[in-house]
């Protein structure tokens, strides 16, 4: 018999130590990451602990309650759609739940208890939609696991990522990289692009400035407050993430956030200013992060991935537009393809329809701005 406990604040060291009972827990579930991602006033973290009859933690799920409708395309639209904030309340997580046993029946009971806790959270926090991603390296996610969510009203989509074992010799890893990616790394070095690890607060400002430039190329208006930057710097010094920066002729051209926890490196965000044609900062940073992970005793490198191809040809064009170039880039680095799942439950259908309508407007405008930016660069 298992019970659950839901908390707004936990002791980070204790929470993280429990996570490490599992071989597949990643930095996305750490107390520190969930807290820094909740620094804005429209979001806050929640922590679910599953306890056995002796009070020992047997399962965990950290998530974020996002209270407002997220609009990316325009700061002005974002302020306008704040009037509809109640229509976009979401419970979000990545790389969970984390279950501390391999025994099938116990896993099923723990998962069922987590789902019950999510229902309590949804009611207490007026959640419109619950959405999360299963852990990339929980290889015990089977049909029974997925069916537990399905029979409780969740929909499931298949995703996949690319993971490399770092137990191999670095030369063997390098030889498994496609030739064009190896060529790009060599060309980057020949162009005197250099990589530095983020070490001080001034570089935090530079990195977030780069993120703003990168977002503009995607049709996104972004703004990072001093509270966000200072919060990130405090979090960064705890070592759960590393940031690598690529410079060419003294200009910061690319950045790479890498989560590193429990022996797993997770490629979190690769950004570029695209200020130069055929920028090679990204490939150099990717290989640098792999080498860094190997040298620092990490066991696996997770390149991240995306949605699995649709079964029907009708949606294939849209899928290719959204995912093909990103997945082609990640596939170059020789990782093994591993499945995981996106899990969604709509709790308030009418409010969710409004949320989807706003999101569609945002998506259309964002893509218009992206195409306009691309045309202006080519002119």
User: Across residues 114-136, what is the average pLDDT?
Assistant: 97
Look-up of token digits 């191999």 = 168
Minimal CA–CA distance to 156: which of 342, 352, 349?
Answer: 342
The model carries a pTM of 0.92
CA angle 68, 74, 79 (to 5 degrees): 45
Phi, psi dihedrals of residue 237, rounded to the nearest 5°: -70, -10
Which residues face 239 on adjacent strands? Answer: none
User: Across residues 317-328, what is the average pLDDT?
Assistant: 84
Q: How far apart are CA 259 and CA 297, in angstroms?
A: 14
pLDDT at residue number 31: 98
Q: In angstroms, how far is CA 63 from the centroid of its own chain?
A: 12
Q: How far apart are CA 352 and CA 358, in angstroms?
A: 10
pLDDT band with cut points at 50, 70 and 90 for residue 80: low
Does the N-terminal peptide bond of residue 97 adopt cis geometry, omega within 30 degrees of 0? yes
Among 91-95, 273-277, 286-290, 338-342, which is the least confidently predicted range? Answer: 273-277
For 300, the enclosing helix (H) or strand (E) is strand 300-302
pLDDT at residue number 321: 78
Q: How far apart are CA 18 and CA 25, in angstroms?
A: 10
In the three-class reduction of DSSP (H, G, I as helix; E, B as strand; rest coil), residue 321 is classed as helix
pLDDT digits (tens, 9 = 90+) for 99-111: 999 999 999 999 9
Q: How far apart are CA 243 and CA 254, in angstroms?
A: 11
Q: How far apart are CA 165 and CA 265, in angstroms?
A: 10
b/e 315-331 (16+ beta carbons within 10 angstroms → b):
eeeebeeeeeeebeebe
User: Across residues 87-93, what is the average pLDDT?
Assistant: 90
Q: How far apart are CA 16 and CA 49, in angstroms?
A: 12
Q: How far apart are CA 182 and CA 330, in angstroms?
A: 13
Beta-carbon contacts of 299 under 8 Å, excluding residues fewer than 6 positions away, are: 165, 166, 167, 263, 264
Phi, psi dihedrals of residue 341, rounded to the nearest 5°: -135, 145
pLDDT digits (tens, 9 = 90+) for 13-43: 999 999 999 999 999 999 999 999 998 888 9
User: Tokens representing 217?
Assistant: 């190329």
Among 70-79, 156-165, 263-272, 321-330, which is the least confidently predicted range? Answer: 70-79
Mean pLDDT of the chain: 91
Stronger pLDDT, 274 or 289, i.e. the higher one: 289
Domains and CATH numbers, the chain: 3-159+340-378 (3.40.630.30), 168-298 (3.40.630.30)
Contact present, 213 and 237 (Cβ < 8 Å): no
Which residues face 18 on adjacent strands? Answer: none
pLDDT digits (tens, 9 = 90+) for 229-265: 999 999 999 999 999 999 999 999 999 999 999 999 9
User: Across residues 343-368, what is the average pLDDT?
Assistant: 82
pLDDT digits (tens, 9 = 90+) for 195-234: 999 999 999 999 999 998 887 877 777 788 899 999 999 9
Contact present, 252 and 263 (Cβ < 8 Å): no
pLDDT of 379 above 60: no
pLDDT at residue number 120: 98
b/e 65-84 (16+ beta carbons within 10 angstroms → b):
bbbbbebbbbeebbeebeeb
Give the CA-trace dihedral at 19, 232, 48, 11, to 10 degrees: 70
Q: How far apart are CA 354 and CA 343, in angstroms?
A: 20
Q: How far apart are CA 233 and CA 236, in angstroms?
A: 5
User: Tokens representing 41?
Assistant: 């006033």
């Amino acid at each position: 018999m298992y019970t659950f406990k839901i908390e707004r604040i936990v002791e980070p060291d204790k929470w993280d130590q429990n996570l490490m009972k599992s071989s597949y827990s990643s930095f996305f579930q750490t107390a520190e990451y969930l807290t820094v991602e909740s620094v804005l006033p429209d979001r806050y973290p929640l922590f679910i602990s599953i306890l056995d009859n002796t009070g020992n933690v047997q399962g965990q799920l950290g998530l974020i309650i996002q209270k407002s409708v997220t609009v990316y395309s325009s700061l002005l639209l974002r302020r306008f759609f704040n009037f509809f904030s109640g229509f976009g309340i979401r419970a979000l997580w990545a790389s969970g739940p984390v279950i501390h046993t391999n025994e099938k029946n116990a896993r099923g009971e723990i998962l069922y208890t987590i789902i019950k806790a999510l229902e309590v959270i949804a009611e207490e926090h007026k959640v419109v939609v619950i959405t999360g991603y299963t852990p990339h390296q929980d290889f015990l996610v089977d049909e029974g696991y997925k069916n537990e969510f399905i029979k409780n009203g969740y929909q499931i989509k298949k995703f996949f990522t690319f993971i490399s074992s770092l137990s191999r010799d670095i030369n063997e890893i390098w030889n498994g990289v496609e030739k064009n990616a190896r060529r790009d790394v060599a060309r980057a070095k020949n162009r005197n692009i250099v990589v530095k690890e983020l070490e001080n607060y001034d570089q935090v400002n530079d990195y977030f400035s780069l993120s703003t430039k990168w977002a503009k190329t995607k049709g996104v208006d972004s703004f990072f407050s001093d509270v966000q930057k200072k919060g990130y710097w405090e979090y960064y010094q705890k070592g759960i993430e590393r940031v690598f920066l690529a410079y060419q002729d003294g200009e910061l051209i690319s950045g790479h956030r890498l989560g590193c926890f429990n022996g797993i490196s997770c490629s979190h965000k690769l950004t570029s200013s695209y200020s130069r044609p055929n920028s090679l900062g990204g490939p150099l940073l990717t290989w640098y992060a792999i080498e860094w992970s190997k040298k620092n005793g990490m066991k696996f490198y997770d390149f991240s991935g995306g949605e699995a191809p649709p079964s029907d040809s009708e949606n294939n064009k849209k899928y290719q537009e959204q995912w093909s170039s990103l997945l082609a880039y990640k596939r170059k680095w020789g990782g093994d393809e591993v499945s995981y799942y996106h899990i969604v439950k709509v709790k308030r259908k009418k409010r969710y329809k409004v949320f989807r309508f706003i999101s569609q407007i945002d998506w259309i405008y964002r893509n218009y701005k992206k195409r306009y930016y691309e045309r202006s660069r080519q002119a």
